[in-house]
Amino acid sequence: MRNIRLNVNGEDHEVEVDPRRLLVHVVREEVGLTGTHVGCLTGDCGACTVMVDDRSVKSCSVLAAGADGACVRTIEYLGTEEDLDPVQQAFLDEFAFQCGYCLPGMLLTVRELLDAEPDPDDAAILQAISGNLCRCTGYGPIVRAVRAAVRSTRGGEGS
């Protein structure tokens, strides 16, 4: 066992972990933030996506000990029910999810994309979200939502 320090969504946590413990399990079990999901544990589905030091990572493929000292952001950080991030709002407006299980990955990936490239073309959108599996929507509504988020962000800049 060893002690690690994580800053999760702005709060400092000191956690004692088994060196083999995955970051996703620490975020869900020790930190208690269950918005990050486990879908495959093989790095393929993206439901466990979190931001580690401002880069999206699949937290099932990261040992918690390896993230010692890191700054972790999860879906819970993105926005609240009263104050949704524009990406969340666009997903709501465009019916871009059904069961919601893939949302942590989809939302954080799209947020990361738009932070880096405020006006991505469809190819960039598809490339960004292709690491995240969704079995409900068929992806079209997600692409529509990303386009809407781009429009709303642009509109916001203009006002």
Partner 1 sequence: MNTSVPSKGTGRVGEAAKKRDGKALLTGGARYVDDVRLPGTLYAAVVRSTVAHARIRRVHTEEALSLPGVELVLTGERARELTEPIPYFIDPVVRGARRVDIHCLESERVVFVGQPVAAVVADTWEGAQRAARLVRVDYDVLPHVLDAEQAMSDDAPRVYEEWADNVVLSKSYGTGDPDGALSSADVVVTGSFRSERTTTAPIEPRGFLARWDAREETLTMHGSCQNPHQLRWMLSTTLGIPENRVRVITEKVGGSFGLKMQGQPEETLVALLSVLTGSPVKWIEDRRESFLAGSRQQVHRFTVGARSDGRIVALVNEIVADAGAMTAQAGWAMPNMSATTFPSGYRIPDCRIDLSIVATNKPPLSAARGFGKDSAHLVMERVVDLVARRLGLDPALVRERNFISSDEFPYRTSTGLNIDSGDFHGLLDKATKSLDYEGWRARQAKARGAGEHIGLGLALELTPESSDSPGSFVSGFDTTTVRMSVTGSVTVLTGVTSPGGGNDTGIAQIVATELGIPLEWVRVVQGDTDQCPNGFGNFSGRSMVVGGGSAALASRDVLRTLTTVGARMLGVERVEVREGAVVDPEGSDSVPVPDVARAVLTRSFEIASEVEPILESTRAYKPGNIDHRPDEHGRIQPYPTYSSCLHATAVRVDAETGKVEIADYAMAHDCGTMINPALVEGQAWGAVVMGLGAALSERLVFDEAGHTVSDRFKSYLLPRASDVPMIRMEHQVTPSPFTMHGNKGAGEAGVGGAQAAIANAVEDALSPLGVLVDRLPLSPPTVLELIRRAKEGRM
- The answer to whether 98 contacts partner 1 (rule: CB under 8 A) is yes
Closest distance between partner 1 and the C-beta of residue 58, in Å? Answer: 12
Looking only at residues 14 through 73 of this chain, which bind partner 1 when binding is defined by CB under 8 A? Answer: 18, 20-21, 25, 28, 33-42, 44-45, 47
Which H or E element spans position 123?
helix 122-129
Q: What is the C-alpha separation between 123 and 96, in angstroms, rounded?
A: 18
Helix axes 140-158, 103-116, angle to 10 degrees: 40
- The answer to whether 74 contacts partner 1 (rule: CB under 8 A) is yes
Question: Binder to partner 1 among 101, 111, 113, 114 (CB under 8 A)?
Answer: 101
| Pick 69 or 81: Cβ nearer partner 1 | 81
* Closest C-alpha among 110, 2, 123 to residue 46: 110
Stretch that binds partner 1, among 64-72, 110-118, 133-141, 148-156 (CB under 8 A): 133-141
Residue 75 contacts residue 107 (beta carbons within 8 Å): yes
Residue 4 contacts residue 67 (beta carbons within 8 Å): yes
| Pick 59 or 104: Cβ nearer partner 1 | 104
4-to-25, 74, 111, 146 alpha-carbon distances in Å:
14, 18, 27, 36
Which residues make up the interface to partner 1 (CB under 8 A)?
18, 20-21, 25, 28, 33-42, 44-45, 47, 74-76, 78-81, 84, 88, 91-93, 95, 97-104, 107, 125-127, 129-143
